[in-house]
Amino acid sequence: MSSVTVMSKQPPGGRCSLYLRYAQTLQEALGLACDVRYCDATAAVPPPAMLICDVLVTPSDGVIVSPDDIARSLGKPSARV
Q: Is the pLDDT score of 77 beyond 60?
A: no
Instruction: Give the tens place of pLDDT for each residue, 1-60.
Output: 589 999 999 999 999 999 999 999 999 999 999 999 999 999 999 999 999 999 999 999
Residue type, 36: V
Minimal CA–CA distance to 5: which of 44, 66, 57? 57
Looking at residue 2, what is its pLDDT?
82
Domain containing 23 equals 3-79
Looking at residue 69, what is its pLDDT?
96
| pTM score, whole prediction | 0.88
Number of structural domains the chain divides into: 1
C-alpha distances in angstroms, 78 versus 1, 51, 52, 54, 72? 11, 12, 9, 9, 12
DSSP string, 7-60: EE-SS--HHHHHHHHHHHHHHHHH--EEEEEE--TTSSSPSSEEEETTEEPPPT
CATH code of the domain covering residue 37 = 3.40.30
